[in-house]
């Protein structure tokens, strides 16, 4: 339950090694969040983060979470709530980018990316929503992407999985109205993380810290949709309406 000042006190991150999510968690911890559970495929992969959080006084733990195992998702959410009590915030941060050229050559790999990014978000999002509805409060932060706002030829598999997740998360948010819980969509642009290492940055590329600042700012303003950085909202209002031949030209890598 949020404290008397409205601060998030407990957070579960699905995709608990995500650099974007961890930057958000750092800001929540700085604002009195005391309990963190990191949902990760391999608990050993989160040891450094866990030690860092614990050394700053946070009650932190890991839980095994695999987006590719939808049958386990409700149990993961329940186990996290058993460990830290009510979940004030759940961040859906897992995802894979992949290479469009590899997906073109390997449709099975493309389907697997879709299972992680979209199917995993559907099952974990619904399982989370059921828990937050029962609590009567809590926020789902669904990290989608501007790549889903308009698909590009050089990453349309990823973009389409994020478009699906984005539509799902908006609908989920609408379905939660009146329950006390909510779902906030976060649409980052290019972010310098492990996921984009070695890639040519897109315009308005940002660090995880900048994205986290935009997210906290958006949450404070009670936004349902957070563009990060915020300038992307204006940019994509224009880009999404460009004629396709022009879009193909300017979006080509």
Q: Given the structure tokens 């099952």, which residue do they identify?
A: 123
Number of residues that bind ligand NAP (CB under 6 A): 26
Residues annotated catalytic, as ranges:
158
Choose between 25 and 67: whose C-beta lies nearer to ligand NAP: 67
Choose between 194 and 241: whose C-beta lies nearer to ligand NAP: 194
Residue 127 binding ligand NAP, by CB under 6 A: no
Q: Given the structure tokens 């049958």, which residue do they identify?
A: 71
The binding track of 130-149 with respect to ligand NAP, each residue x by CB under 6 A or -, is -------------x-x----
Residue 95 binding ligand NAP, by CB under 6 A: yes
Residue 166 binding ligand NAP, by CB under 6 A: no
Instruction: Print burial letters for 92-127: b (CB count within 10 Å at least 16), e (below 16).
Output: bbbbbbbebeebeeeeebbebbbbbbbbbbbbbbbb
| DSSP element (H, E) containing 213 | helix 208-220
Choose between 61 and 86: whose C-beta lies nearer to ligand NAP: 61
Alpha-helical (H) ranges within 85-183 are 100-105, 107-114, 120-135, 156-175
How far is Cα 140 from Cα 125, in angstroms, rounded to an integer?
A: 8
Cβ-based neighbours of 138, under 8 Å, separated by 6 or more: 86, 87, 88, 89, 90, 131, 132, 180, 181, 182
The two tokens of residue 47 are 């040891």
Residue 151 binding ligand NAP, by CB under 6 A: no
Instruction: Pick from 61, 66, 99, 213 the residue near ligand NAP by CB under 6 A.
Output: 66
Instruction: Pick from 71, 108, 194, 222 the residue near ligand NAP by CB under 6 A.
Output: 194
Choose between 97 and 176: whose C-beta lies nearer to ligand NAP: 97
Q: Which residues bind ligand NAP (CB under 6 A)?
A: 15, 17-20, 40-41, 45, 65-68, 93-96, 116, 143, 145, 188, 190-191, 193-196
């Amino acid at each position: 339950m949020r404290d008397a000042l409205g601060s998030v006190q407990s957070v579960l991150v699905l995709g608990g090694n995500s650099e974007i999510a961890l930057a958000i968690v750092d800001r929540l911890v700085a604002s009195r969040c005391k309990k963190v559970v990191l949902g990760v495929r391999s608990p050993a992969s989160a040891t450094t983060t866990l030690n860092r959080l614990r050394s700053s006084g946070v009650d932190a733990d890991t839980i095994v979470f695999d987006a590719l195992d939808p049958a386990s998702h409700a149990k993961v959410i329940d186990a996290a709530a058993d460990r830290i009590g009510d979940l004030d915030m759940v961040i859906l941060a897992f995802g894979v980018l992949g290479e469009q050229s590899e997906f073109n050559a390997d449709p099975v790999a493309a389907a697997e990316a879709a299972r992680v990014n979209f199917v995993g978000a559907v099952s974990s999002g619904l399982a989370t929503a059921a828990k937050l509805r029962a609590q009567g409060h809590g926020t789902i932060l669904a990290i989608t992407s501007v790549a889903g706002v308009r698909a590009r030829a050089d990453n349309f598999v990823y973009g389409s999985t994020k478009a699906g997740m984005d539509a799902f998360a908006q609908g989920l948010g609408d379905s939660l109205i009146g329950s006390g819980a909510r779902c906030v969509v976060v649409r980052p642009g290019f972010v310098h993380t492990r996921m984009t290492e070695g890639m040519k940055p897109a315009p308005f590329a940002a660090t995880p810290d900048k994205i986290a600042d935009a997210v906290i700012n958006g949450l404070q303003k009670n936004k349902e949709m957070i563009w990060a950085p915020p300038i992307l909202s204006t940019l994509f209002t224009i880009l999404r309406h460009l004629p396709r031949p022009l879009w193909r030209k300017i979006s080509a890598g």
